[in-house]
Structure 1
Amino acid sequence: MTTTDPLVETLLAVSRSMVAIAARNLAMQGADVTLPQYRALVALAGRGPQRSAVLARELGVAPSTLTRMCDRLVRKSLIHRFHRNNDRRSIWLGLTPPGRDLVGVVMRARRAELDAIVRAAGLTASPRELAMLSAFVHASGELPDDEWWRRWSMSADPLADAQAMREGRLASNALA
């Protein structure tokens, strides 16, 4: 290990804690979803439907890896594939209502656990510290929490999902 900035070392430890919290809350839902699959769902919730190539780049995986991941998520009725009328060549991916709901449930559980940890540790943050953390979120390419939730609320396409239901491609309960 090389000597590094204490802030970077602390952020690495915080990152491990956050991944552990995410994994724990995902497991508590009883959903058969891996952390990489969940990350794909979160990306679709925050950024809306995306072309598969764009999502593969965002997640840092090969297109073939994303295809296999999405095959599993489609079978679990958490996402759906579709073509846009103006672009029949590109495959688009979007959340189904059960996929959006799973992400929301896990995020709310994470928020509750983080709130409990912050309270138990007696932590507070100054405006300067909050600004620093917000700058970190922005620099990492993530959305501020309020914007993420606004996008999450609109992330499932009910018209596409109604069509998938009619065609028998979408189960009514993705967590079953």
Structure 2
Amino acid sequence: MQALPSAGPDRAGPENAGPEPAVQALMLASRAFVGLTVRALAAVEADVTLPQFRALVVLAVRGTLRSADIAEELQVNPSTGTRMTDRLAAKGLVRRVRSTDDRRVVRLRLTREGHDIVERVMARRRAELERIVAATAGVWRPAVTEALTAFAAAAGEMPEQEWWLGWRQHADDPEQDA
């Protein structure tokens, strides 16, 4: 790995470079992250698109939701969310559950098969990230980790531990079936 040039008197330091280098680095990293997910999806041979996988992840973390809630979380039109969840239901990855309080309300929950797909893809992604981090161990200073954590928080992502706590809660749900 190539060392970064140091800031000398005639070189602007990172603190004076403005946001563009960070934006460029994050654009590059985001392509890498999407690639990791796409490869993990392909490896588990799930008949699921990337947007559908995102919907499965939302259900895995948040639990039973209405189609409109999923659409809002994914920032897509409600009709797009409905079509997406209809396809996931047809594949047996989610199931519809009527509210006991209001029969007009239909919520979606992961089936065991949907849960298993998310679990397998996340395990593959984690293994690949561990490999990449090991190969780039020299750059993982506390400041880099803190910056990425702050970035994820600003983007509305929950910390890994909270994600897995929600995941485990819904994984052990006795009503979740195929």
Normalising by structure 1, we get a TM-score of 0.83
Report whether the alignment pairs 1:125 with 2:140.
yes
In structure 1, stretches of 5+ residues that fail to align are 162-169, 171-176
1:82 counterpart SS class:
strand
Aligned partners of 2:145, 2:174: CA distance in 1, in Å?
A: 36
Q: How many residues align?
A: 160
1:30 counterpart SS class:
coil
1:89 counterpart SS class:
coil
Report whether the alignment pairs 1:35 with 2:35.
no
Give, as a single letter, the amino acid of the residue that structure 1 aligns with 2:156.
Answer: G
1:164 — aligned with what? none
1:92 counterpart SS class:
strand
2:170 counterpart SS class:
coil
Which fold has the larger relative contact order, with Cα–Cα distance below 8 Å and residues 6 or more apart in sequence? 1
1:174 — aligned with what? none
Q: What pairs up with 1:1-176 in 2 under 5 angstroms?
A: 5-156=20-171, 157-161=173-177, 170=178
Q: Identify if the C-alpha distance between structure 1 residues 45 and 6 changes in structure 2 by more than 3 Å, giving closer, same or farther.
A: same
- Post-superposition shift, 1:124? 4.2
The 8 Å contact of residues 56 and 62 in structure 1, kept in 2 or not, is answered as yes
Aligned partners of 2:64, 2:35: CA distance in 1, in Å?
A: 27
CA RMSD of aligned residues (A): 1.7
- Write out per-residue CA displacement over residues 3-55 of structure 1, whole angstroms, 9 at most, x where no aligned residue: 96211111111001000000000000011000000000011111111121111
Give, as a single letter, the amino acid of the residue that structure 2 aligns with 1:69.
Answer: M
Q: Identify if the C-alpha distance between structure 1 residues 98 and 123 changes in structure 2 by more than 3 Å, giving closer, same or farther.
A: farther
Aligned partners of 1:28, 1:58: CA distance in 2, in Å?
A: 26
2:13 — aligned with what? none
Give, as a single letter, the amino acid of the residue that structure 2 aligns with 1:79.
Answer: V
In structure 2, stretches of 5+ residues that fail to align are 1-17
2:3 — aligned with what? none
Q: Identify if the C-alpha distance between structure 1 residues 81 and 60 changes in structure 2 by more than 3 Å, giving closer, same or farther.
A: same
Aligned partners of 1:160, 1:34: CA distance in 2, in Å?
A: 22
The 8 Å contact of residues 67 and 107 in structure 2, kept in 1 or not, is answered as yes
- Post-superposition shift, 1:111? 0.5
Normalising by structure 2, we get a TM-score of 0.82
